[in-house]
A and B are shown apart, each in its own frame.
Chain A
Amino acid sequence: MSKHRDTMQALAKARPSRLEPDGPLPDPAALTAYPREVARMARAPRPGRRLALVGGGVAVVAAVATVLSLRTGVPAPNATASSSVSATTAPTVVPTTAAGLLLVAAERYDAEPVRDGRYWVVRFQHGEQAKPTIVDEQWLALRDGDPSVAYFKVGSRDWRARPMEGHSAANNFLLAGQTRPPAELAALPSDPDRLKARLLSWYSDEVSNEGRDQYLFYCGVAITLNLPVPAPVRAAAYRMLAKLPGITALGRVTDALGRDGMAVGYSRRGDSGNVSQQRLIVDPATGYALAQESWTKGERGRYTAVLKSQWSDESLPDAADLK
């Protein structure tokens, strides 16, 4: 009997560290934000893995859209960036290197004024192969005391609002797996080397199984894609990415919504030996990050496409007023 007990104790001691999740847990608000009846329809909604675990990003509040005609009237990622504007301001010299693209994108941001507002408003489409597409718009409070609300649209039904319980200005935004208050994001350095140093000061070998470069890549993606930072900080994030080893230029691509852009990729070999590649797709004409996509074996997997990201001083809209 005691031999058996010893065996069980030895087995308990041999518990592999690979049973522990990487980094902090995904935000449960991504699940509780689902109304129960939508949760019933949604098979696999969850935050984009890296965004939620390591890179950062706003908590994903997702809703399932079973029928979506997004090809018609796809909103540009910012109100100012319509496709006709893109065409006329497109650079005559197309960047061919990853660094070149990122530096062009950075320059576009240099020209933007620093803004802020009461709310950071982001609309994303999330998808993964045959799984139902998910679209949500979040109004994330930047000031203490303001409520945050997520809106979602199911099929051709009307937008519905859902308060984000437990969310406040203090915890609305995730970078490097930790919540960062808006003031801290606004104060991120606009010099790429200093930005990198700041991000690395939050990096921990114990918490992250990722290498430092990979960590910086996901941080850079979060800053360029979906965090409320001043334009110069976005520019700095692009410049930081441009100097990061391991980033490759993928040339012209279309994102999951059919929008033209250029992509850079960062690859890692997964545990099963497959190489998976994270792509950041950028509109070289505007500098806006269009999407983050995960590719394995030549197929697009999970993606997040930005439909809107902007500041707003308005009060929370009624769901019925959303378009």
Chain B
Amino acid sequence: MEHPDDSRRFTAIYHACYPQVYAYAVSRAGRDLAEDVAGDTFLTAWRRLDAIPPAPLPWLLGVARNMIRERYRVEVRQAGITTELRAWVERTQAEADVADSVAERAAMLDALARLGDEDRELLTLVAWHGLSTREAARVVGCSTATYFVRLHRARRRLEQALAGPPPAARRVPVSAQNQEYTR
């Protein structure tokens, strides 16, 4: 049964978390799909309001994560993310007004683009989407300890990618599909 408080609680969660859910969707599927993903995530949230824990963000990102996986074919998502990654680098390079840090940021985004999808998610959940390691572990469905280990490896690969383009394709764990759509 619905209650006036439900609407109020939902609206509070919506205002607090929409930007993060949208940002996560952009980083996982590209901007073209992000709004659909965010909208449908919150529709699920409204429907399952009683299931949302007091700290809603990890729960919401988990819903968004599953939705992206179920909803979109791998190729569609990869095409979206490939476009997105390119746009990050290009857009950052174009921001001439903050010149000193631009090159550094563009290099970072370029290195990130050369990582595998999983590594990118592990890193950005913590660095961009404001989650603690524990919360991020909940989103991807593993233990906090496992997340630490995987994050550590992802970070190392990011540092390697920053140091220079990989000499061989196998040093960067990119899936076959990803390579296909990066060309």
Contact = CB atoms under 8 A, between A and B. Distances in A.
A and B held together in a complex: yes
Interface of A: 3-4, 7-8, 10-21, 25-26, 28-29, 31-32, 34-36, 39-40, 42-46, 49, 165-166, 270-273
B43 A34 contact: yes
A16 B39 contact: no
Contact of A14 (B6, B38, B40, B105): B105
Interface stretch (B56-64, B83-91, B135-143): B83-91
Contacts of A271: 30-32, 83-84, 87
Contacts of B27: 19
A28 B39 contact: no
Interface in B31-67: 31-32, 34-36, 38-40, 42-43, 46-47
Interface residues of B, number: 52
Nearest to A296: B32
Contact of A32 (B10, B101, B104, B159): B10
B123 to A, nearest CB: 6
A16 B83 CA distance: 14
A212 B4 CA distance: 39
Contacts of B92: 14, 16
A7 B15 contact: no
Given A14-B109, A15-B127, A18-B91, 4 more contacts: A16-B87, A25-B18, A36-B2, A36-B47
Contact of B22 (A7, A15, A21): A21
Nearest to A43: B40
B46 A4 contact: no
Interface string B99-125: 001001110110010000000000110
Contacts of A49: 35
Contacts of A40: 47
Given A44-B36, A271-B87, A3 B159 contact: yes
Chain B interface secondary structure, helix, strand, loop or mixed? helix
12 contacts: A4-B152, A8-B126, A11-B108, A11-B123, A17-B91, A19-B128, A21-B19, A21-B22, A28-B15, A29-B11, A32-B10, A165-B7
Nearest to B101: A13
Nearest to B37: A44
B92 to A, nearest CB: 6
B79 interface: yes
Given A15-B127, A36-B2, A272-B83, A7 B109 contact: no
Nearest to A8: B127
Interface in B1-16: 2, 4, 6-7, 10-11, 14-15
A8 B123 CA distance: 8
A13 B87 CA distance: 17
Contacts of A45: 39, 43
Given A14-B105, A165-B4, A272 B127 contact: no
Contacts of B22: 19-21
User: Which has the most chain A C-beta neighbours within 10 Å: B22, B88, B127?
Assistant: B127
Nearest to B32: A272
Interchain residue pairs A-B with the least CB separation, the first 10: A19-B23, A46-B39, A14-B108, A14-B105, A16-B88, A28-B14, A11-B127, A12-B127, A39-B47, A32-B7
Contacts of B158: 7, 11
B68 interface: no
Contacts of A7: 155, 158-159, 162
Contacts of A34: 43, 46
Nearest to B26: A19
A20 B19 contact: yes
A10 B112 CA distance: 12
Given A10-B104, A14-B92, A14-B108, A39 B83 contact: no
A32 B126 CA distance: 30
Nearest to A4: B155
